[in-house]
Structure 1
């Protein structure tokens, strides 16, 4: 489907001026912590299918690398089968202090990570505080660079100033989630997507903290305060350095027998070419290539109809899968979504 821009009246980044210094542009998604008991499957998925560098730390800990940073994904043994923390790389100590101050000023506890926790994440020091859906947010300024060369099937991954990719979450409280990332990281609204899947209407909000089109995406069912996804994240994304890397990893995912969630396609808003595989923990993993980079001098948020220009066809989804989503959505009514009201600014209404 083609995109139909429709500028939103509440979408301009200056619509909610802040008294404190703006940290936008100084924040980059740096690492992701995953808790799982499926280490063997994750090792095959990460190295043999996706094509990342793998480091075995112990029976209960392993890491994946994308570049010269010691850690981009930390996997620790445990029952969650989910993302449990996001690490945000900050440009300098001034930015670190600004974010720490605003978290504490709002009465939210911020706890320094231990030296061992910092070592495992490949950073010099970190500070953690509560985040939406129970995903801990961690900030740091200085990554530790690896001395060993990369050994991986991919030729490379795009990180740098735009961070290492993005994370997508589903939410029954999307205004509060958008308010959280605006309050903590000065996230700006990039655009919206309206999509209808099996008669259910979705609204997806895309939030950026730097030049990357989005580092956080928040999807919600319109008119229904339910969350249809079991995991805290719906998917995470990393950006391949070349189209050849994307195509080869897509083939390896199939050849190794891992489930594919969505076939190759192109998104309407960021124009990224990508596919979605299903991880051993159940959430999805998007490998993308060549998304557009936002120009802050000209960008205006808009609404697009449908997530894809072409492709992204569901693969292997059965009526059992859909019934499972329906059951989870029903259960979510009984268990309110975890939010951090003090950091959510009362929520930012947008529809």
Structure 2
């Protein structure tokens, strides 16, 4: 194993792999509603771009209707090899991606290993930049050193997920939110791997080992470059008939203005604007009450939806959640 050194700040959320049978709906959602650049690869593959990087979302045909992999851009070969060495040292296999897999993701060097909830974690060193000009309804999205956004996951073992991302990426706790939704008390922990307030959020029902979300991710987030981009995409989502999960509002912890749309695969997609940037010299974790200062009103929720969510939670009681114990600290108590 290589000499231990922190990789915090050298890791950035780089791309997401989504598997779906609803490719036409995803094309309409990504291009016409959210406003991203689209590249068709073949009848079962397409990509969305947010910036000059060749791929930010790889959407492929398949039955999951979910996120199946997250790709992390790692600065330099030394940090890349440090992460590989950590994973292997814990007895977890690391597989090299093929040249074809790397090309589909728009990267030059690719490795993968198991991640929590069955979401494969992929790391890469050098993204390929496209020479093709962006064709987007949006003026732009914020990526760069902060990465392209964040992923939010529900879990029955939140401390283990925290342990996983700390072991692999030296993730730091930014803060917590306590929230009550439909009578269930939630605690959400927010983890950062660079200056972005969080790249991973982990939500858990306090006191009950239930997971009320069918999909592996609860939502994805991308950051709009301007307030006008946020407002116009919100209007397009509504006009095109896509479900709105939460109306425009502002979060308590990162102060991001955002809305949540429901994707064709069922998980949610948050478009946000202007979150705070963490100053490592002064930041201290704290707990916030409620996810929103204002807004984020649930849209279109019926009693049937709520009953379905309770049924999913009940099923999770008899389903074992994969936290990759070797990397997450299987002895860690959850709470």
Task: Answer yes or no: is the 8 Å Cα contact 2:160–2:334 preserved in 1.
Answer: no
Residue 246 (structure 1) aligned with residue 246 (structure 2): no
- Structure 1 residue aligned with 2:315, among 331, 336, 341? 331
After superposing the two structures, state which structure 1 stretch, 330-339 or 22-31, moved more. 330-339
| CA shift for structure 1 position 335 | 1.3
Task: Answer yes or no: is the 8 Å Cα contact 1:179–1:347 preserved in 2.
Answer: no
| CA shift for structure 1 position 347 | 6.0
Give the whole-Å Cα distance in 2 for the aligned partners of 1:37 and 1:248.
Answer: 28
Task: Answer yes or no: is the 8 Å Cα contact 1:100–1:110 preserved in 2.
Answer: yes
- Structure 2 residue aligned with 1:39, among 7, 23, 28? 23
After superposing the two structures, state which structure 1 stretch, 325-334 or 211-220, moved more. 325-334
| Length, aligned pairs only | 333
Alignment-derived partner of residue 218 in structure 1: 202
Residue 204 (structure 1) aligned with residue 218 (structure 2): no
Unpaired stretches in structure 1, ≥5 consecutive residues: 1-18
Give the whole-Å Cα distance in 1 for the aligned partners of 2:166 and 2:332.
Answer: 9
Give the whole-Å Cα distance in 2 for the aligned partners of 1:203 and 1:347.
Answer: 20
Residue 119 (structure 1) aligned with residue 103 (structure 2): yes
Task: Answer yes or no: is the 8 Å Cα contact 1:178–1:348 preserved in 2.
Answer: no
Q: Secondary structure of the residue that 1:180 maps to in structure 2?
A: helix
Task: Answer yes or no: is the 8 Å Cα contact 2:157–2:334 preserved in 1.
Answer: no
Residue 128 (structure 1) aligned with residue 112 (structure 2): yes
Give the whole-Å Cα distance in 1 for the aligned partners of 2:127 and 2:214.
Answer: 32
Task: Answer yes or no: is the 8 Å Cα contact 1:269–1:304 preserved in 2.
Answer: yes
Give the whole-Å Cα distance in 1 for the aligned partners of 2:331 and 2:208.
Answer: 17
Summarize the alignment of residues 1-351 of structure 1 with structure 2, pairs less than 5 Å apart: 20-346=4-330, 351=335
Larger RCO, structure (CA 8 Å, separation 6 or more): 1
Give the whole-Å Cα distance in 2 for the aligned partners of 1:192 and 1:339.
Answer: 20
Alignment-derived partner of residue 8 in structure 1: none
Distance 1:225 1:83, change over 3 A: same
Give the whole-Å Cα distance in 2 for the aligned partners of 1:211 and 1:193.
Answer: 19
Name segments (4+ residues, structure 1) moved above 3 Å. 346-351
Q: Secondary structure of the residue that 1:257 maps to in structure 2?
A: coil
Give the whole-Å Cα distance in 2 for the aligned partners of 1:140 and 1:347.
Answer: 30
Q: RMSD of aligned C-alpha atoms?
A: 0.9
| CA shift for structure 1 position 198 | 1.4
| CA shift for structure 1 position 211 | 0.1
Distance 1:257 1:347, change over 3 A: farther
Unpaired stretches in structure 2, ≥5 consecutive residues: none
| CA shift for structure 1 position 346 | 3.6
Distance 1:347 1:259, change over 3 A: farther
After superposing the two structures, state which structure 1 stretch, 290-299 or 326-335, moved more. 326-335
